[in-house]
Amino acid sequence: MEWFAFLIYILIAALCTLVVWFTIKVGFRVSTLSEPVLAEPENFLTTDTGSSDQTPHLYWNFTATLIVIPTLILTLGFFAEITSLINPVTGTLAVALALIWGMAFWSGMLAFPKQSPLENQIPLPEFSEPTAKESSEVQHTIDPKETS
Amino acid sequence: MIYLMTLFFLFLLLILSFLLAEITYSPVNRSAKTRLLDSLRRISLAQQHLHDVRQYGLLFFSLVCCVLSVGVYIPYITLFLPPFFQQSEAAVLVKSHNAPLVYLGLLILLQVAGEISQALTERQNSSAMMVLNSYFWLPLLMAWSSLAPYLPVDLSHIIKDSGSSIWLGMLQPAGCLALALALIGPYLIINARALFPVSPIHTWIRELRMIVGLSIIIPLIYGRSCFSPVNEHFSPAEIAGIAAQVILLLVLMVIVLRLKKFLRRQRNLNTERLWKITLWLSMISVTSSFVAFHVLGTSDPLMHVLLNFSLLAIWIGFIAPKGNLKQTKNFKSNSSIPS
């Protein structure tokens, strides 16, 4: 694969990712708005001080969309079938891989925060829906713990 | 022929999913026929209670995604079978060296679309809402990307001396494991946190998607890879291989059900931690694919095995202690005493 053909593929991949991201932003606007509300019981990115106020969910989503581009470049690069390290395609792929690792580390996706067992026992929100009531009546005789 | 096979496969999957969905609601031992009828009745009852048109449409779309992926499945699996089984050229949808990759991407996209549209209908469930974030699907994308170079099955003229037919699951164990975890992940996460009743129709669609997802993974574990030789001869060992795939499906299903039970028993299950472990695994598999195909060269399949297993060992050494296995063991022993 030539270098310029590869460049064109990269540009197409980046543009497609941006288009998908924009579509998600516009089409699923309600779900993105309700993300910060949900973040609290899930104990995202909390430190030991227990301050779960600034949970950067949207920021994570944006980083995730950015990571998609180098991943697609990597997938495309496998078809180049080039094994020399001096080749610019291999260099680009190495940079893409380094970008993936860097962004994942930088956004804290790969970090395992220390958790205390008490923080996870926050009760989940109520489930109020006609279908749910109906199914709970069916299930009422059986304790959910016993089913497991 | 292919339509008949697809219909038969769909019928089998539907029956299996109905039976599996019934397990969630009544664990009592009864005959399979009663359970099947009960399950059908329960799902139709739940379906009558769906008043919201938007919810109805989203669930229907999710079901259509499952059925579509079953329709694509038979051409997909024949690509991984020996050339003896492959169809005439008219029946092939995508015809190129990268057809397995394209099919796999299409199937994964259908699964993701079904999962997202179903999660949109249950916003009360915080685990289901996690599925709606884009970062959640990163491990799946990376696992797909890491398996991509191994998938063109008929490229063995490029790789010289391709006498080996080591399975894909042996060549790229980290990628296969990451893909399995990422595909079944939403099913495990949502079912493990079932502290409130879920509607039977949701349960059924999710079980159906789980079975379809497992059958997508099977040719990757037990299929041909880019190192497999091109032989036109027909041997009884290949028939045994196909029988082994069916057995593998059942084994994987039992493993997933046991895993679901195990996760449900844990009181303080952190779904975030599960997702992070999958992300680590998929990133390491992407890195190993890059190193194997661009730095070391594609020549030797045994070199791939060595590299991937050493990376898997590194992953276990670094990540598994952080996964807090000791704590989960304690919780398992605690919870098994009263029950």
Q: How far apart are CA B211 and CA B250, in angstroms?
A: 10
Model confidence over B267-325: pLDDT tens digits?
Answer: 777 778 888 888 988 998 999 888 888 877 766 777 788 888 888 887 777 766 665 55
Distance between B30 CA and the closest CA of chain A, angstroms: 15
Percent of residues, chain A, with pLDDT higher than 90:
0
- Is the pLDDT at A56 greater than 80? The verdict is no
Tell me what the pLDDT averaged over chain B comes to. 79
Contacts of A127 in chain B (CB under 8 A): 124-125, 196-197
Distance between B99 CA and the closest CA of chain A, angstroms: 13
Amino acid at A138: V
DSSP A124: P
Q: How far apart are CA B69 and CA B111, in angstroms?
A: 8
Q: How confident is the model at residue A52 (pLDDT cuts 50, 70, 90)?
A: very low
pLDDT at B239: 77
Distance between B328 CA and the closest CA of chain A, angstroms: 11
Instruction: Using CB atoms, pick whichever of B276, B290, B322 lies closest to residue A109.
Output: B276
- State how far Cα A4 lies from the chain centre: 31
- Is the pLDDT at A38 greater than 70? The verdict is no
> What was the ipTM of the complex prediction?
0.77
Contacts of A67 in chain B (CB under 8 A): 138
Q: How far apart are CA B146 and CA B140, in angstroms?
A: 10
B136-165 average pLDDT score: 76
Q: How far apart are CA B268 and CA A119, in angstroms?
A: 9
Number of Cβ within a 10 Å radius of residue B33: 8
- Is the pLDDT at B244 greater than 70? The verdict is yes
Q: What is the pTM of this model?
A: 0.77
CA of B117: which chain A residue's CA is closest?
A28
Distance between B5 CA and the closest CA of chain A, angstroms: 32
Contacts of A144 in chain B (CB under 8 A): 194-195, 197
- B279–A109 CB contact, under 8 Å: yes
Residue (of B103, B224, B80, B79) closest to B159 by Cα position: B224
Q: How far apart are CA B107 and CA B112, in angstroms?
A: 9
Q: How confident is the model at residue B110 (pLDDT cuts 50, 70, 90)?
A: very high
Q: Is the distance from CB of A64 to CB of A48 less than 8 angstroms?
A: no
A2-27 average pLDDT score: 73
pLDDT at B228: 72
- Is the pLDDT at A121 greater than 80? The verdict is no
- A131–B49 CB contact, under 8 Å: yes
Tell me what the pLDDT averaged over chain A comes to. 64
CA of A107: which chain B residue's CA is closest?
B135
User: Where is average pLDDT lowest: A120-129, B68-77, B320-329?
Assistant: A120-129
Check residues B326 and B165 and name the one with the higher pLDDT: B165
Instruction: Copy the structure tokens of residue B152.
Output: 């063109």
Q: How far apart are CA A135 and CA B42, in angstroms?
A: 8
A66-95 average pLDDT score: 80
Q: Is the distance from CB of B121 to CB of B58 less than 8 angstroms?
A: yes
For chain B, positions 168-207, list CB contacts with chain A under 8 A.
Answer: 193-201
B318's enclosing H/E stretch is helix B301-319
Q: Which whole-number Å values give the CA distances from B170 to B101, B111, B148, B166, B225, in the listed order?
A: 18, 25, 15, 7, 10
- Is the pLDDT at A91 greater than 70? The verdict is yes
User: Where is average pLDDT lowest: A15-29, A132-146, B107-121, B145-159?
Assistant: A132-146
